[in-house]
Amino acid sequence: MSKKDIFGDDVQESKDFASFEEMFAQSEKSMDRRLSVGDQLQGEILSIGKEEAFIATGTPVDGMIFTRDLLDENKQVKYKVGDIIDCVVTAIKGGEIRLAKKGSLAATTDSLEDAFDMELPVEGRVTETCNGGFRVSVQGKTAFCPISQIDLKFAQDATEYVGRKFEFLITQFDSKGRNIVVSRRRLLELQRAENEGTFMLKHQPGAVLEGKVMRLERFGAFVELEPGIEGLIHVSELAWSRVNDPHEIVSLGQNVTVKLLKTEEIDGKLKISLSLKQADGEGNPWLSVPQKFPVGTVVKGKVEKKETYGLFVNIAPGVTGLLPKSKWRDSVEAAQYENKKRGDEVTVQVDQILFEEKKISLGLPHEAEDTSWKSHTTSASGFGSLGDAFKNLNLKPK
């Protein structure tokens, strides 16, 4: 049974309520909408003046269109207030939205020229490959993108970009819109610089971060921490034991937890140093060094590296100390240590531990000194134990 209003007419409550909800949702959506150069929209003409007209854009800000763009072939305005027309956003300056009628020359040329002048990104679709790069469709115009400017990395397979939409910066433009050159790389570099600045503000050395292994080289692994932000785990920071090849520890696409060691800007580029081994506290062999190798401990190790100033000796996985040349130079076994090479076994003694610096100074093991002589007391006669020794001989005169 339908409800009646006070006049006796049927009330379509559900339909009216649904319509209200739709209108309210649409209103909220429009309040959040943000327009960019090149966006297309349908708008209602709000007013028509001598030089300019205003059109509802579906956002809190109305758009301005030149009245000449609404004229017909006889130079007469062919629209009226309340008409809906298709428009293109040609510029956004100081909070003002400038429009042009869709399909007009101004809709394309003015929009692209403003984007070029103001270094605003425009959307384009890569249509095909060509000699030296790609043809890109930008607002109905054909632009050229050099192959070196399609990405931050070199495009190994050019076909993977064909048919895809990207944002570009216009790097070359003539007034007739016939010669347009675009660059995606330049836009990506600007975005990366902005992201790097934000990254440095958010993360300080010592922070533990999550990332994905994107590239492996002989000297280490490159890890993506955020879109466009990569850091390097040097091969020496992959594990506490010696690593010859990063493939031994990590693989492409692997998610890893790393520690941020430092960030520095070199030649205008941000360099981020990471550590995989230091991110895992429980696996750090240095935490147990004071207990396992207290000062004075004699241990067997293997020569890891030989330098002019001494031998680096590995005494446990991830734990290496230095046996300085000065410790064995005057030893009777000097020649033996001089001839040591990588992989040779050597017995050493822990002389000093610098825990914070993760350094161990090694020396040659030596037998404990005979200190028994100290137990002999000095007699009142001054001869001490020497006199007692003579008495014990019981020598008789001849």
Q: Are strands 345-354 and 359-363 parallel, antiparallel or unpaired?
A: antiparallel
Could you tell me if 99 and 59 are in contact, meaning their C-beta atoms sit under 8 angstroms apart? no
pLDDT in tens, 124-169: 899 998 988 999 998 778 899 999 998 988 878 888 899 999 988 8
pLDDT in tens, 311-359: 899 888 778 889 998 888 888 888 888 888 888 899 999 999 887 777 8
pLDDT in tens, 10-33: 555 544 444 555 554 554 454 456
Could you tell me if 168 and 188 are in contact, meaning their C-beta atoms sit under 8 angstroms apart? no
Residue 371 to residue 290: CA distance in whole angstroms: 28
Could you tell me if 314 and 343 are in contact, meaning their C-beta atoms sit under 8 angstroms apart? no
For residue 186, which phi and psi values (nearest 5 degrees)?
A: -60, -40
- pLDDT of 234 > 90? The answer is yes
Please report the beta strands in 247-344, taking only residues with DSSP state E, as ranges in sequence order.
255-266, 269-275, 298-307, 310-316, 319-324
Provide the pLDDT for residue 134: 92
Residue 64 to residue 61: CA distance in whole angstroms: 10
3-state secondary structure of 93: strand
Higher pLDDT: 78 or 27? It is 78
Provide the pLDDT for residue 232: 93
Question: Residues 6 or more apart from 228 whose CB is under 8 A from it?
Answer: 152, 188, 191, 192, 195, 196
- Tally the residues of the chain: 398
Provide the pLDDT for residue 40: 82
- pLDDT of 192 > 60? The answer is yes
Question: Residues 6 or more apart from 9 whose CB is under 8 A from it?
Answer: none
Provide the pLDDT for residue 136: 92
Which tokens in the block code for residue 30? 């429009």
3-state secondary structure of 82: coil
Please report the beta strands in 173-241, taking only residues with DSSP state E, as ranges in sequence order.
181-183, 208-217, 220-226, 229-234
Quote the pTM value: 0.44
What is the largest distance, in Å, between two alpha-carbon atoms of the chain? 158
> Which among 127, 112, 121, 53 has a CA at the least distance from the CA of 85?
53
Question: Residues 6 or more apart from 368 whose CB is under 8 A from it?
Answer: none
Provide the pLDDT for residue 92: 79
Average pLDDT over residues 362-367: 80
Count of Cβ atoms closer than 10 Å to residue 388 Cβ: 13
Average pLDDT over residues 29-38: 64
Higher pLDDT: 34 or 387? It is 34
- pLDDT of 65 > 70? The answer is yes
* Pure H helices in the chain: 13-32, 105-117, 184-202, 289-292, 325-328, 334-338, 385-392
Helix/strand/coil percentages in the chain, nearest 5: 25, 40, 35
Provide the pLDDT for residue 274: 92
Q: Which residues pair with 98 in a beta bridge?
A: 64, 91
Average pLDDT of the chain to the nearest whole number: 79
Average pLDDT over residues 185-199: 83
